[in-house]
Amino acid sequence: MLMLFAPITLRSLTIPNRAWMAPMCQYSAATDGPEIGAPHDWHFAHLASRAVGGTGLILTEATAVSPEGRISPADLGLWNDRQQAAFTRITGFLSRHGTVPGIQLAHAGRKASADRPWRGGAPLGTAEGGWRPVAPSPIPFSDGYPAPEELPAGQIRRIVADFAAAAERALRAGFRVAEIHGAHGYLIGEFLSPHSNHRTDAYGGPFENRIRFALEVVDAVRAVWPEELPVFFRVSATDWLPDGQGWSVDDTVRLAKELHAHGVDLLDISSGGNAAEVKILTGPGYQVPFAARVRAEIDRPVAAVGQITDPHQAESILASGQADAVLLGRELLRNPYWPQQAARALGVRPRRPDQYLRAT
């Protein structure tokens, strides 16, 4: 069987194929009132269509574990019962149509309280519905961003508890995979990198201290997440900064070993997002070498992401052992039925719902 359409089992969960949907924020949740942070018809249609299209695992967009953890006021959250109940409609549909529902739990840190991207994405003040962001150190993300509040140790512990509480809600809502968002310059990634973490306490300085918050979050989530279900961790493999100035691929390999020792089952390898000034040269599969190196050095499952658009390209990544799954983002925005079309291109019978069998 072709690797792209071979099942993969993590703990006791079997995912039917290895064409997965990457988390992509929709910035479309209600911004006030009782429905704040809850998914609605847009999110249902967006995610359900990719399940009908044959995606093996769908990871929801970054879902905030607390109100101040949202990237924008229009982000999804999972800190109350109404949000939890709204997610069950989505997870039920995905599961009934053969797709594993996964959630990405997140805290935006110093990049929180921003406007929607199509309105410019600028930081929002309190008069505009925003709030003061928090971070490991009071260092703005870039020019025009406010200095975040430096987190005291007690508030760090509260955020760790928020991740655990959100994971418990995710389980009750029907999710089968919990992914912890440690990438793209959001709060966990800010703690990891010396570019954004200038603390001198137990959460800053040497590598062992900078990874402490990430491991505490993993431990808290793993403690409430069922033993038989997997936990993922998304990491930016590099800040794309010169050696010694930020997080590096060497750091990622070291962290990967620690994460697996703490119960993480798969690393989702992305890059960048923590240093606004860097210019990243992108291209087809440009982040795959990061996933390949981590997989080679720790011999544990990883997923690759980043301009993976062609079925033969995806199959080659998997067949060559560079990754165990591929995550598609923009390509699935352009084409919800990419997995079905990839199957046909590779000579495999696509998975279709009964209602669409006449299209085979």
> Which active-site residues does the annotation give?
186
Q: Which residues pair with 29 in a beta bridge?
A: none
Report the C-alpha gap between 182 and 192 in whole angstroms: 8
Among all chains, which residue has been given the structure tokens 């997440």?
Answer: 225
Phi/psi region, residue 304 (left: phi>0; alpha: psi -120 to 50; beta: rest), is beta
Amino acid at 133: P
